[in-house]
């Protein structure tokens, strides 16, 4: 499986991001206008599969670049899950120099195992930090 990680929302189609977010329990009701505004005001990353010519993963980061970043909207298309793409995407995002030394925050109901691989610890039922 050949994939590439895309850096920047301007390098992805908004419709592809919306399609992925519609597959989630947390963003399935977001309007196209809200999705557009959220990606415009965050750092965005995607996973593009070359063989199917399709964006199959997405993540956003909101940060002040001095103290804290918030990892949000991490999604891998369910048809492509359990193939290491989520790990690859989160690894890429967290390896960016702009986030080094910053406190990371995220919310998740069911992906604690993924984020523990990267040093996040559960603080509440859904909140994780590192």
Res. 128: pLDDT tops 90: no
**Per-residue confidence (pLDDT) for residue 101, from 0 to 100:** 96
81 token code pair: 């899950």
Q: What is the mean pLDDT of the chain?
A: 95
Q: Which structural domains are found in the chain, ordered by start? A: 3-100 (3.40.630.30)
Band (110; pLDDT cuts 50, 70, 90): confident
Mean pLDDT to the nearest integer, 24-32: 95
Tell me what pLDDT residue 1 has.
80
> What is the structure's pLDDT at 45?
98
Residue 78 φ/ψ, nearest 5 degrees: -50, -30
Match 């415009």 to its residue by tokens: 40
Strand residue runs (E) in the chain: 3-7, 43-49, 54-63, 68-76, 103-107, 121-122, 127-129
Residue at token pair 């989630």: 24
């Amino acid at each position: 499986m050949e994939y590439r990680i895309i850096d920047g929302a301007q390098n992805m189609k908004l419709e592809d991001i919306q399609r992925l977010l519609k597959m989630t329990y947390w963003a399935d009701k977001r309007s196209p206008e809200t999705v557009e505004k959220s990606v415009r005001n965050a750092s965005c990353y995607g996973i593009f599969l070359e063989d199917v010519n399709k964006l199959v993963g997405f993540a956003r980061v909101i940060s002040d670049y001095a103290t804290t970043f918030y990892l949000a909207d991490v999604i891998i298309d369910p048809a492509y899950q359990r193939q290491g793409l989520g790990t690859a995407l989160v690894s890429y995002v967290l390896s960016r120099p702009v986030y080094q030394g910053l406190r990371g925050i995220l919310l998740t109901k069911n992906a604690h195992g993924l984020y523990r691989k990267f040093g996040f610890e559960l603080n509440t039922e859904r909140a994780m930090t590192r």
